């Protein structure tokens, strides 16, 4: 069945056909998706997933696209994007509840506004709450697992959603039970502590200053390209392999921070992938350490 006919009358949110995924990823590369679906509620999300599963249509779920590389051939089937429309933040007492489409920076700013401390580390992470929770995003010694009370998780097989306390989310270094099982975090609850607004703001400003000084924020990228190997730092290993500034096409190992591969101008996803493989090969040859991508890769060549 043609995708437009299948989705045409479905109540699943906004739909863009033949969507250029370069517009929806921070790398600014990648081919087109057959259909980009943007639900605004758990009901629309559930309908979209069950419709795809019942009709044998491939699908994937993304957030803000800040930790994502879409191959140049694009994505067949349906890409479900939980972003601007899937938003909302509530603050009650010492808890901040944020829907999956909210940016982590928005949740952090809500905490600041209400004099709550604990989320400052996440203020400069460009990802969404849902994607950040799935990957247990972290920076500067903090990670979401440390401040999460629990989350609503949708079972993609049934479309039903339940609240799971943080112990049941099984969050580890850049992983979670939901990510491993292919289920979807639709909302997260963060348990914070009362703090002084000026001190919270000062810490956020300091962390953002450090990011600007050390990270290549002026170029499109997906943040840290590789996970931190046990006992090592990916950026240090890459720099020791004399890879700073090395390029493939428009993709480059950042000269500012070797842990970042950037789109220095006109890069394709193929350029980025080839450079990632080059980095992995050289680092392994030099140190025997295998670098594992932190960036999620989807689509066809």
Which positions are catalytic?
Answer: 174, 224, 294
Who contacts 152 (Cβ-Cβ below 8 Å, separation ≥6)? 42, 161, 162, 163, 164, 185, 186, 187, 188
Q: 298, 217, 280, 264: which is closest to 30 by C-alpha?
A: 298
Q: Are 191 and 146 in contact (CB under 8 A)?
A: no
Can you tell me the distance from the alpha carbon of 1 to that of 58, in angstroms, rounded to the nearest whole number?
A: 13
SS3 content of the chain, % helix, strand, coil (to 5): 35, 30, 40
DSSP 186-219: EEEEEE-EE--HHHHHHHHHHHHHHHHHHS-TTS
The burial class, CB within 10 Å (0-12 / 13-18 / 19+), for 162 is exposed
Rounded to 5°, the CA angle 291-294-298 comes to: 115
Can you tell me the distance from the alpha carbon of 283 to that of 291, in angstroms, rounded to the nearest whole number?
A: 8
Can you tell me the distance from the alpha carbon of 153 to that of 130, in angstroms, rounded to the nearest whole number?
A: 10
């Amino acid at each position: 069945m043609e995708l437009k006919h299948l989705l045409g009358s479905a109540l699943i949110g906004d739909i863009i056909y033949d969507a250029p995924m370069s517009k929806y990823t921070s790398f600014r590369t990648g081919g087109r998706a057959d259909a980009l679906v943007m639900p605004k509620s758990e009901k629309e999300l559930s309908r979209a997933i069950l419709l795809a599963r019942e009709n044998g249509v491939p699908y994937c779920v993304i957030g803000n696209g800040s930790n994502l590389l879409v191959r140049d051939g694009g994505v067949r089937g349906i890409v479900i994007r939980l972003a601007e429309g899937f938003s909302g933040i509530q603050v009650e007492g010492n808890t901040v509840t944020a829907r999956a489409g909210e940016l982590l920076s928005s949740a952090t700013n809500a905490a600041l506004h209400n004099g709550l401390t604990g989320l400052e580390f996440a203020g400069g992470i460009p990802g969404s709450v849902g994607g950040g929770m799935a990957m247990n995003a972290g920076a500067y010694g903090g990670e979401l697992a440390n401040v999460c009370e629990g989350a609503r998780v949708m079972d993609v097989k049934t479309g039903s959603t339940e609240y799971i306390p943080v112990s049941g989310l099984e969050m580890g270094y850049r992983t979670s039970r939901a990510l491993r099982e292919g289920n979807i975090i639709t909302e997260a609850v963060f348990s914070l502590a009362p703090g002084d607004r000026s001190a919270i703001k000062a810490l956020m400003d300091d962390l953002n200053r450090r990011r600007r000084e050390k990270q290549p924020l002026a170029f499109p990228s997906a943040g840290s390209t590789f996970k931190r190997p046990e006992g090592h730092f990916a950026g240090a290993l890459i720099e020791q392999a004399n890879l700073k500034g090395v390029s493939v096409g428009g993709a480059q190992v950042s000269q500012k921070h070797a842990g970042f591969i950037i789109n220095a101008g006109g890069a394709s996803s193929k350029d980025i992938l080839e450079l990632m493989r080059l980095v992995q090969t050289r680092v392994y040859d030099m140190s025997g350490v295998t670098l594992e991508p932190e960036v999620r890769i989807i689509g066809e060549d």
